[in-house]
Amino acid sequence: MDWVYAVLLVLSIFGVIGVSEILRKIFRFDPEVTRKVIHISVGVAVFPAPLIFSSSIPVIAVAIFFIVVNFLSLRVKLFKGMDSVARQTYGTVYYPLAFLILVISFWRNYPALISISMVILAIGDAVAAIVGASVKSPKVYNLTGDKKSLQGSVAMFVSSFLIVFVSLIFMSASKLWWSDVLNLSVDKIFLISFLTALFVAVVEGLGSYGFDNLFVPLASAFMLHALVIADKLNQFLFAFLLAFLIAVISYKLRFLSLNGSVGTFVLAVVIFGVGGWKWTVPILAFFVLSSLISKIGKERRKKFDLIFEKSSTRDIYQVFANGGIAGVVALIYHFYPSEIFYYVYLATVSSATFDTWATEIGTLLLSKPRLITNLKQVEPGTSGGVSIKGTFGGIIGSIVIFASATFWIKWELVKLLIVVVAGLIGSFVDSFLGATLQAQYKCKVCGKITEKKLHCDGFAELIRGKRWLNNDFVNFVCTSSGAFAGLILMVI
């Protein structure tokens, strides 16, 4: 019967889409309204799936089917009521993709995480958009590209809180949902609901270009797993407080921009919530010390501000480029705890530190770098330039990262070398991409070679590299390479 149910589920979803299309044409509804109706209906329709289906295979097939159908629909505008919004995004593709990931991850043991997370997306995200659009004078903010409203974010928080609270009250005693009976007091359910809703509201506020359809349910499932299954409520309470303090203080000291501080909040909640001080101290050491070095060399660095794409005040893209992989490794460790992942984590933080310190110290000491591809001398600040002073500074930075973790691990020369070498490899990859593929521009006014698309109040001319490959992307590859190098070195 599972495949019969799968066909009925597909037909019911198409039925909702079809009825919405007819009503949209008859009553001339705004396409965004019908899109939200579909958004909510589909989420509610998949809620009971873990109880109806005995196997996950038909459900996975349905998810893959709609990923393909929605992608094709975006291309040919098949479902205008679902796809026609002010700006085309792949949100309708991310929606079933999120469902697919949740089914693969939690179907066997914790199906409640799938259902609750999808309903939070279906109802919470839709309510946030509806409330934001209906308020006469909304307080608008823009963190990553899409305009959001404070009122909409509050609505997202309230609806998510109620969904989690009601779900846990009625579902916690069922083995069908959790594989075991949960003994949760009302006050504990309240705190779990509060923290989950807060985290989800912040993630939704950061979401742009439809990515909230992917990250909202994944963030919901992670937080519920951490608070309910892993029983880390007390640790996450402290994580939220610490993350808030770090974000606010860093913003006030201009270490971070507004969106950078919000991104840091999310990252800090994940890392401290998963690993406590053992995981937090190394990345905190990187962030604080690197920010201080940037501020110390601010005067000398001014001459490079017209060359570097970003300033010393880090935005969210810099935060995730340098710390995003560290957060991903922490998430992997949460679900698959192994000490090897801690050293992979140190390796990725080491690569970010090595690269940052090499650049900051190299420019601070005004050393003459050489291009990594041909060793020809270039001007300080040139992408792909390396120097002895800068490399030495990077090595010191990697050693500092390893030293910051020695309260929890033994000081072993082999492990130290792994962390430092991983940092060196990540920085090497960064410099190589900077010298070859990273976008470089020449100002049409002053003639300077720069990483900036805009220079002297005008568009600069691309003279090398790919337009899409900017400094943030290069840094992301750097930290990814450091993590991969650390994993390989630990295994061999």
Per-residue pLDDT of the chain (492 residues; tens, 9 = 90+): 899 999 999 998 888 878 877 877 787 766 666 777 887 888 888 899 988 999 999 999 999 999 998 888 887 766 655 555 555 678 889 999 999 999 999 999 999 999 999 999 999 988 888 888 888 888 999 999 888 999 999 999 999 999 999 999 999 888 889 888 888 999 999 999 999 999 999 999 998 888 999 999 999 999 999 999 999 999 999 999 999 999 999 999 888 999 999 999 999 999 999 999 999 999 999 998 988 887 775 655 555 544 555 556 789 999 999 999 999 999 999 999 999 999 999 999 999 999 999 988 887 776 778 889 888 888 777 788 898 988 999 999 999 999 999 999 988 999 999 999 999 999 999 999 988 988 888 887 777 777 777 777 777 888 888 888 888 999 999 999 999 999 999 998
Question: What gap in Å lies between CA 316 and CA 264, rounded to an integer?
Answer: 8
**Are 393 and 358 in contact, with CB atoms under 8 Å apart?**
yes
Q: Which domain holds residue 132?
A: 2-231
Asked if the structure places residue 282 within a domain, the reply is no
Total structural domains in the chain?
2
| Amino acid present at 127 | V
Question: What gap in Å lies between CA 208 and CA 231, rounded to an integer?
Answer: 31
Same domain, 338 and 217: no
Asked if the structure places residue 253 within a domain, the reply is no
Asked if the structure places residue 257 within a domain, the reply is no
Strands 461-464 vs 458-459: parallel, antiparallel or unpaired: unpaired
With CA atoms as reference, report the closest residue to 321 among 471, 142, 486: 471
Contacts of 153 (CB under 8 A, 6+ apart): 128, 201, 204, 205
Same domain, 204 and 352: no
Asked if the structure places residue 150 within a domain, the reply is yes
Angle at CA 89, nearest 5°, toward 87 and 91? 130
Residue where a domain stops, chosen among 198, 231, 264 = 231
Residue where a domain stops, chosen among 196, 212, 231 = 231
Same domain, 111 and 180: yes
pLDDT at 197: 98
| Amino acid present at 252 | K
Q: Report helix, strand and coil shares of the chain as percent, to nearest 5.
A: 70, 5, 25
Question: What gap in Å lies between CA 333 and CA 352, rounded to an integer?
Answer: 20
Same domain, 37 and 141: yes
**What pTM was estimated for this model as a whole?**
0.90
pLDDT at 306: 47
Same domain, 320 and 216: no
Cross-strand pairs, 73:
none
Question: What gap in Å lies between CA 375 and CA 252, rounded to an integer?
Answer: 41
pLDDT at 445: 78
Asked if the structure places residue 247 within a domain, the reply is no
Same domain, 211 and 320: no
With CA atoms as reference, report the closest residue to 161 among 121, 182, 184, 190: 190
Count CB atoms within 10 A of the CB of residue 466: 12
pLDDT at 240: 98
Q: Where are the alpha helices (DSSP H) in 47-185?
A: 49-52, 57-76, 80-83, 91-106, 111-119, 126-134, 150-171, 175-178
> Which 8-state DSSP code applies to residue 460?
P
Asked if the structure places residue 444 within a domain, the reply is yes
Asked if the structure places residue 242 within a domain, the reply is no
| Amino acid present at 365 | L
Same domain, 313 and 212: no
Question: What gap in Å lies between CA 326 and CA 180, rounded to an integer?
Answer: 32
Give the SS3 label for residue 328: helix
